[in-house]
Amino acid sequence: MKLQRGFSLLEILVAFSILALSLGILLRVFSGNVQLAGVSDDYSTAVLLAESQLAEATAITLEEGESIGEFDDRFVWVTSISLYDPGLEELDLDSLSVSPYRIQVKVAWGAGDSPRSITLTTLRLQSKS
């Protein structure tokens, strides 16, 4: 009998099947990471936009109300300003020389299956005039 060297056809088919399965799994993992990177980028942009709106709202004389705007045709922001009531019965807000305001900015984006949003809130004291 002659000694044979090399791989049989069955061994090559099994090796290619394992390679195909491994590459399919790796492709799915890498595509998921790319998608998560896009979501992370959207969250970063939304946080920066919300911080910008908070900074803008705290730089003006505060009045109760709501303002709405759009950024980059993807992000919609809503800024709400209202008098803050701490809920403490022993605290008389009328006797204070300042008024506490609650400023809330909500940024929303995405539509359809995965709408997303973030909300930032802060308090600011404003002198009574």
**pLDDT, tens digit, for every residue of 96-121?**
778 888 999 999 998 777 789 999 99
Using the predicted structure, report yes or no on whether residue 2 has a pLDDT greater than 90: no
What three-state secondary structure class fits 123?
A: strand
| Assigned fold of 10-86+97-127 | Pantoate--beta-alanine Ligase; Chain: A,domain 2 (3.30.1300)
pTM, two decimals, is 0.67
Cβ atoms of 107 and 49 closer than 8 Å: yes
- The residue extents of the domains of the chain are 10-86+97-127
> Locate tokens 């299956």: which residue?
113
pLDDT at 76: 93
pLDDT at 92: 66
pLDDT band at 93 (very low <50, low <70, confident <90, very high): low
Cβ atoms of 23 and 94 closer than 8 Å: no
Q: pLDDT digits over 27-51, tens only?
A: 887 776 777 777 888 899 999 999 9
Cβ atoms of 106 and 98 closer than 8 Å: no
Of 107, 125, 115, 110, nearest in space to 51 by CA: 107
pLDDT at 89: 62
pLDDT at 103: 93
